[in-house]
Structure 1
Amino acid sequence: MKFARRWIVAGLLLTAPGAQAQLLPSPGSALGQVSGQAGGIVPHVMDRVEGTLDQAGLDRLSPARLADRLLAARAARIDDLVWRHADSVELDDRREPARRGVILLTGARPESVAALRSAGYGVEDAAIEGLDLAVTRLTVPQGRSLSRALKQVRSLAPEAQASADNLYFPSGASMGLAAAALAENASVRGKAAGLIDGGVARHPSLTGPVEQRGFARGAPRASAHGTAVASLISGTGSIRGAAPGAPLLVADVYGDDPAGGSAFAMARALGWMAARGADVVTVSLVGPDNPLLAGAIRLARERGVSVVAAVGNDGPAAPPAYPASYAGVIAVTGIDGRGRVLPEAGRARHVDFAAPGADMNAARADGGKGKVRGTSFAAPLVAGRLFAKGSVAALRAEAKRGSGLSIICGNCRNND
């Protein structure tokens, strides 16, 4: 029965438009593979959806049909993730994926923490360095579901904010890598652009300094998604980014952890970025509202960090995407080569800019370049231009109007 269920999920994903942005396979490559790699394909933890986007198929669907397909693909993706990694991932009380058996608590009084210990919860103090944010990580007693535990924790510590350690999906699924060397870990000094994603591979277009740090098991580890996004920020040569040669601080929040991309990892990454003085941070990841992540973003912004986030690719009928929907975050959607908003683009509570998200190329982790699609690849173009211009006001002055949106870097497609 489990075997059959897995194939049902895979069928949903392959027949519906992909809910995440894609790094499209080169001609002749098998789906989910990088051509030219020796030694087979190692599945990557960021590979959370299969299938490529068919632009013609998307254009033929009515808005209602498209919304249904994208919502079905989103549900199937989450179901498949929990099924494949049940030892690491479970659903919270909102049926959103989260790290199994972990609750994040902020603002709890000592007596409430003591009551939680007495109720059998493991307690760990874990401050977010760089943001002066105190967090208590609770381990749920064995045999108790996360949903049930959250209800109990909120009862025992009503003054605190309690949430699951929710997981955030790349707004672009990466292809598996057999072996890819990390970009050389240079020490970045002074002004830098930040990236919270997977690790970045060595690539001839990434000529500026790249400093990487891991915030998950096995990190930093090269990823196709992180490499593509990084190249669109600071690439030079065959892949030219929006801020060529800009120094990069890269926080890998995935590594090889099935529960990578968590709210706690992202908050720690933001703290590191703030402490290192990153001016602009790109987050091409989407997930649910989470109080710890919301607080971390607010504190990072108070320290002068601008956060640029993709709105995702689950379609306009999906729930609002976070962190793009947080106040003060610069939310970015994607447009195609004809200037149309991508039909699969998600939504946020506000959209500030649009940039190319289709009919374009980015760096591949094997050293070449390849087609990409999705709002993941629009966000770094906006972030790069913001880094180069120095202020949102200057960025708005540079924007061109189209499709009712402020378009940045409209010709940044690397199709030469």
Structure 2
Amino acid sequence: MGPCHRWIVRSLSVVALSVMALPASAQLGGVGLPSMPGVGGGLPGGVGGGSPMGGLPDLPRTPMAPRAPRAPAPSLPLPAASALPSTVRGLVGQTEVLAGEALTALRGQQVQALIRDHADLIDVDDQGQAVVRGEVLILSPSPKSLAIARKAGFRVGSETRLEGLDLSTVTLGLPTGVSVREGVRRLKALDPEGQYDFNHIYLGAGAAPAVARGPAARGGGAGVRIGLVDGGVAAHPSLGPVEQRGFAPGGLKVSAHGTAVASLMVGRGRGFRGAAPGARLLVADVYGGSPTGGSAAIIAQALAWMARSKVAVINVSLVGPPNRTLEAAVAALVARGHLVVAAVGNDGPAAPPLYPAAYPGVVSVTGVDARRRVLPEAGRGGHVDFAAPGADMAAASSQGGYVALRGTSFAAPLVAGRLALELASPDRAAAANAMADLARQATDLGSRGPDPTYGRGLVAFDLRTSPTAVGAGRALLAGE
């Protein structure tokens, strides 16, 4: 998004937010405007490209109970479009469209910046997406595959055992003068049975929020355990003790994205609550402040820790391409009765599905705004399971107080928290029951029954906290 585009978005946002800040009696003859979405910037990590999948059988999606007849959605205190002056209607509409367009472009901009700023560490795959330079991942290799790789001039690194998932990975170094793209092609040609792939890099599916102070109060534990794979989580008045472990180079590092997502899962404060307030949160920081953080290999290690810890529900608000190692780790968790919840991403309705949300068995979540409309930047497809609030909302800031935010990243943790209240430990039958219960609670939106936009319907809408309710300011624009 260029400087001119950013200026337009900022100008429209300022006008609309200024109108909304007026007392009710002064707002266009007493008619209030809906809250405006904010777009943020500055996420950790990057994303990967699109390598072909293979080597694992598809797992059936969790069976759903029949959907109850659609009930009319309760009325919201919003003005009819005709009640607003045309100039204001145009500003509101343009701001929402531009905010969605900015967030759709954000992931690609971050990939380009990652490659540009860290060319010594980051390379690209065949699709031009970010991968760890000089590394090929091989999943659970046989002695034969390792022998073939050695004979072809690849350096065989140490094995990482993913205990709890019955998997392992080995990193292969490239022969001199061979790019990572050529290396993957050679290995697949020499050993079609081997499971070779890039070490793709993933990032969060939402805009990093701006800082704004607001009230908060600490909540107590509720005996529920839930997992988060993201960046590190800062101390915040709405959060109780958090168990964290760093998996990326550089150790654990606090992030704005991880803190916001954590609060939506387990936070509790004055005027604010997450989906499972006071629950015990286990956080796997897969970024650690490193340019190569968020890689498939690191995420797999984090998921293995969640499996060993017997965490039943795990939120992964990260998006990227299909990857054999990530696919295998997710499939192993699902087979063991865990629920993996992931955001569909913000690449737009025409974009290819993003992962891990599109893997079989993953609970895939899209976002809606305060008017229950799907975010225009949200992904679509038959893999979408549920919709939840993802804009016109606030969450905890890593610097204290609360912030406005936008993105499907922030819808997924609300669904994860709701499911965690129903699933105490990993169990396939209990997981299916928890999903069926949530589906029965969902409000049908869009086409009748499950659809590629809203999935089985809207849940957790009651958990949307308006930014004005907790004193959160608007979010920064991408790139600021």
TM-score band by shorter chain is 0.7 to 0.9
* Aligned with residue 146 of structure 1, among 164, 180, 187: 180
Distance 2:43 2:97 in 1: 32
* Aligned with residue 159 of structure 1, among 193, 214, 235: 193
* Aligned with residue 169 of structure 1, among 203, 207, 212: 203
The change in CA–CA distance for 1:89 and 1:57 in structure 2 (over 3 A counts) is farther
Distance 2:338 2:294 in 1: 20
* Aligned with residue 462 of structure 2, among 408, 411, 416: 411
C-alpha deviation, 1:256, in angstroms: 1.2
- Conserved 8 A contact 2:394-2:402: yes
Distance 2:177 2:317 in 1: 35
Distance 1:237 1:217 in 2: 33
SS of 2:161's equivalent in the other structure is coil
C-alpha deviation, 1:389, in angstroms: 2.8
Q: How many residues align?
A: 368
C-alpha deviation, 1:57, in angstroms: 3.0
The yes-or-no answer on 1:392 pairing with 2:435 is yes
Instruction: Identify the residue that residue 79 of structure 1 maps to in structure 2.
Output: 112
Q: What stretches of structure 1 of length at least 5 have no aligned partner?
A: 1-8, 19-26, 34-42, 49-53, 178-187
Aligned-residue identity in percent: 47
TM-score in terms of structure 2 length? 0.71
The yes-or-no answer on 1:225 pairing with 2:257 is yes
C-alpha deviation, 1:10, in angstroms: 6.1
CA deviation profile, 1:28-56 (whole Å, cap 9, x unmatched): xxx979xxxxxxxxx774499xxxxx974
CA deviation profile, 1:122-166 (whole Å, cap 9, x unmatched): 212222122110222111234321111111111222211110010
The yes-or-no answer on 1:290 pairing with 2:335 is no
The change in CA–CA distance for 1:271 and 1:230 in structure 2 (over 3 A counts) is same
TM-score in terms of structure 1 length? 0.81
Superposition RMSD in Å: 3.0
Instruction: Identify the residue that residue 169 of structure 2 maps to in structure 1.
Output: 135
C-alpha deviation, 1:350, in angstroms: 1.0
- Conserved 8 A contact 2:274-2:414: yes
The change in CA–CA distance for 1:92 and 1:46 in structure 2 (over 3 A counts) is closer
C-alpha deviation, 1:269, in angstroms: 0.7
Q: What stretches of structure 2 of length at least 5 have no aligned partner?
A: 11-20, 22-38, 48-90, 212-220, 424-433, 448-453, 470-480
- The one-letter code of the counterpart of 1:57 is Q
- The one-letter code of the counterpart of 1:215 is F
CA deviation profile, 1:300-329 (whole Å, cap 9, x unmatched): 112221000001111112221100000000
- The one-letter code of the counterpart of 2:249 is R
Distance 1:16 1:320 in 2: 30
- Conserved 8 A contact 2:45-2:201: no
Distance 2:196 2:460 in 1: 40
Instruction: Identify the residue that residue 233 of structure 2 maps to in structure 1.
Output: 200
Alignment of 1:249-288 (within 5 A): 249-288=282-321
C-alpha deviation, 1:265, in angstroms: 0.8
CA deviation profile, 1:230-279 (whole Å, cap 9, x unmatched): 00000011331011111101000001110111111111111100110101
- Conserved 8 A contact 1:229-1:376: yes
- Conserved 8 A contact 1:229-1:362: yes
The change in CA–CA distance for 1:302 and 1:237 in structure 2 (over 3 A counts) is same
Alignment of 1:7-406 (within 5 A): 14=6, 45-46=44-45, 56-57=93-94, 59-60=96-97, 74-124=107-157, 125-174=159-208, 191-207=224-240, 209-238=241-270, 239-390=272-423, 391-404=434-447, 405=454, 406=457
- Conserved 8 A contact 2:247-2:285: yes
The change in CA–CA distance for 1:32 and 1:310 in structure 2 (over 3 A counts) is closer
The change in CA–CA distance for 1:242 and 1:60 in structure 2 (over 3 A counts) is closer
CA deviation profile, 1:83-105 (whole Å, cap 9, x unmatched): 11111111112322111111111
The change in CA–CA distance for 1:366 and 1:74 in structure 2 (over 3 A counts) is closer
Which structure has the greater CA radius of gyration?
2
